[in-house]
Amino acid sequence: MRRRLALYGALLVLGAIAAVTVRRDHAQAVWHWDLPPGFPAPRIPADNPMSAAKVDLGRLLFYDKQLSNNRTQSCASCHQQRRAFTDGRVHAIGSTGEAHRRNSMTLTNVAYASRLTWAHPLLDRIEAQVLLPMFGDAPIELGLPDATTLLTRLRADPNYVARFTAAFPQDADSITVTNVTCALACFVRTLISGNSAYDRYTRGDQQALSAAAKRGMELFFSERLECFHCHGNFNFADAVDHAKLAEPERAFHNTGLYNVDGKGSYPSSDGGLYEITRRWDDMGRFKAPTLRNVAVTAPYMHDGSIATLEEVLDHYAAGGRTIASGPNAGDGHTSPLKEKFVAGFILTPAERADVIAFLQSLTDEAFLADPRFADPFGSRPAEPDTSSSPLHELATQRAPR
């Protein structure tokens, strides 16, 4: 029997309500996780258990440009495997060419994320989050005008008819928006990365890390730099959930990236968590993303406003960013809303290089090329390389915020 949870509410980024009905399958095959050593099992919603049929279907949907209204983009357009499922742009670009105000966040280990997107305190289900790029219009990402457009396309494809029937055998009509979101969620939960040089070192391979990376690791986990306070645990993030936790860990931070009025304000175009809660203390607070594969996910920060890892390190070493002129000018170091751990530190050039070497050691090359996560439509052209130079992107795409 199928049970439904009516009107599962997920606040949209701008505060509107999106409701999705979710389902429970009782006849799915047991899913066996292929987890890196030491990784806990993800917490899986009881109403959307994992299955191979759902994962395979979700992979097709993730790469299918039919999920955009004009058939020009897929989920993978903003989440490319070789970039750890980011897109290399300062701001994501939607299917109509409209620029998003935020940088595409990595999907690396999204199964362990307790909160989704950059600054939403309530959005905790991937099944709900995937509705935003498909049907949201502020800004347009995939830009579907309604469910009928999508479902008509899928129902006209015999391959999808067969795959939805196999993935959701209890449903008389298996091709529904709910099942689209469930399949997509199952696929992206399999995007688990845990075989970097750092991981191999912690499992006993003393040769996996260079001497510089080992020194950088000591600095990273030191109270002197305090990076680990926001980027700790197995996932190098602090908004984490998994099956062994009694409650999900939730955290958002103001890192002194902006201070446009001397009181801690961020640009009016993006106040972070404050936009949802309207609490002044939440101004400029964003989720700390995982640092796994961080060397391939440039540019950085919620708005893509820092081009390189070296510049990110400079930002934290200064205890906040100073912008000398322009509409966002201000001294982030003096922000009264800044996280206390962003206090600044001094590094020698050699130490700076060591920390960068450690961050580079978090790259999981096997994950970036794993065929299980690759485009199943192998004959189509690859996504264009838009970020051979993040500095070029910043120079050509940066707009007043």
8-state DSSP, 334? G
Q: Which CATH superfamily is domain 4-193+372-397 in?
A: Cytochrome c-like domain (1.10.760.10)
Q: Domain spans of the chain?
A: 4-193+372-397
241-290 pLDDT, tens digit per residue, is 999 999 999 999 999 999 999 999 999 999 999 999 999 999 999 999 99
8-state DSSP, 99? B
Answer whether 79's CB lies under 8 Å from 87's CB.
yes
Phi/psi of residue 127, nearest 5 degrees:
-60, -35
125-155 pLDDT, tens digit per residue, is 999 999 999 999 888 999 999 999 999 999 9
Q: Is the pLDDT of residue 164 over 90?
A: yes
pLDDT tier at 325 (50, 70, 90 boundaries)?
very high
* Angle (deg, nearest 10), helices 147-155 and 158-167: 100
